[in-house]
């Protein structure tokens, strides 16, 4: 089974309110993106990686992220697009038809468990299309333009979608082609697959598999690192070799 991981790190991170893009902000003294890549470097089911970063960051990502932290599975570094969907589309262009499975993951989700990566790949091989997520804990309501509640949703049917999202290669390429033909922009990769009427399997992820997009997320990330260190739990992505 040939599996490629597209790591989407093409964003500028405006919500972080920082001059440094969110994927390069230090978490435990190490760039967030480096944490993420290191987990995929170790994941046994991942054959190689396509890294997507802003066009002007390609050289920096190669020298200060990929080479410095010795991420040997990165085969291509490609330029991102205007939106995340455009960035993933550019990443897909570097995926060979020989790759049977495409896994797509946010570069700023550095706490994804290695085991979850491998499980999601195996499930995609069985189910064709898989997304990772967690059940909603709080009551969710829809409101109108005046802030008045229009609907309360049944919580037992609602999940927060995360990444990785994993698909057979022909399916995700077909979904992206159709999306652009229809000028359709989805909220995640799974929504593009849903758009071509292919059902996507939801599997349980982790509430700690956070996406670091705000200062509060970064604070929680530091807390997770500290808690794991104090408890003696192995911290994914911190056993680095670093090239001087």
- CA-to-CA distance for 224 and 218, rounded, in angstroms? 10
Q: What share of the chain is helix, strand, coil (3-state, %, to 5)?
A: 40, 25, 40
* Mean pLDDT calculated for residue range 26-49: 96
- CA-to-CA distance for 158 and 84, rounded, in angstroms? 24
* Mean pLDDT calculated for residue range 163-181: 98
pLDDT at position 226: 86
pLDDT at position 18: 64
* Mean pLDDT calculated for residue range 36-56: 97
* Residue among 24, 30, 190, 184 nearest 104 (CA): 190
Query: What are the backbone dihedrals phi and psi of residue 203, each rounded to the nearest 5 degrees, phi first?
Result: -125, 155
pLDDT at position 244: 41
Task: List Cβ neighbours of 97 (8 Å cut-off, separation of 6 or more).
Answer: 169, 170
Over residues 18-28, the pLDDT tens digits come to 677 899 999 99
The domain locations on the chain are 3-231
* Mean pLDDT calculated for residue range 200-215: 95
236 or 61: whose pLDDT is higher?
61
**How confident is residue 149, by pLDDT bands cut at 50, 70 and 90?**
very high
Q: Maximum CA pair distance of the chain?
A: 58
- CA-to-CA distance for 231 and 151, rounded, in angstroms? 42
- As a whole-number percent, the residues of the chain with pLDDT over 90 amount to 85
pLDDT at position 228: 74
E strand or H helix at 166 = strand 159-168
pLDDT averaged over the chain? 91
pLDDT at position 1: 78
Inter-helix orientation angle 114-127/32-42, to 10°: 60
Q: Tell me which of 2.60.40.1180, 3.40.1050.10, 1.10.260.40, 3.90.550.10 is the CATH number of domain 3-231.
A: 3.90.550.10
Q: pLDDT at residue 126 above 90?
A: yes
* Mean pLDDT calculated for residue range 50-60: 97
């Amino acid at each position: 089974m040939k599996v490629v991981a597209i790591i989407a790190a093409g964003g500028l991170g405006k919500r972080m309110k920082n001059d440094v893009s969110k994927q390069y902000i230090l978490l435990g003294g190490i760039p967030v993106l480096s944490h993420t890549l290191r987990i995929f470097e170790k994941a046994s089911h991942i054959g190689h990686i396509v890294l997507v970063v802003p066009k002007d960051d390609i050289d920096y990502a190669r020298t200060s992220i990929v080479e410095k932290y010795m991420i040997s599975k990165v085969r291509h570094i490609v330029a991102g697009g205007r939106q995340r969907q455009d960035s993933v589309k550019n990443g897909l262009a570097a995926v060979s038809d020989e790759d049977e499975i495409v896994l797509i993951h946010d570069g700023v989700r550095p706490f994804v468990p290695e085991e979850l990566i491998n499980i999601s790949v195996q499930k995609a091989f069985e189910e064709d299309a898989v997304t990772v997520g967690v059940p909603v804990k709080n009551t969710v309501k829809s409101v109108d333009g005046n802030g008045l509640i229009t609907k309360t949703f049944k919580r037992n049917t609602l999940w927060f979608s995360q990444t990785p999202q994993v698909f057979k290669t022909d399916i995700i390429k077909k979904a992206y082609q159709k999306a652009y033909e229809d000028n359709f922009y989805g909220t995640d990769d799974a929504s593009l697959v849903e758009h071509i009427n292919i059902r996507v399997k939801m599997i349980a992820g982790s509430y700690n598999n956070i996406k670091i997009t705000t200062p509060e997320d970064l604070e929680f990330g530091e807390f997770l690192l500290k808690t794991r260190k104090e408890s003696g739990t192995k911290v994914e992505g911190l056993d680095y070799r670093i090239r001087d």
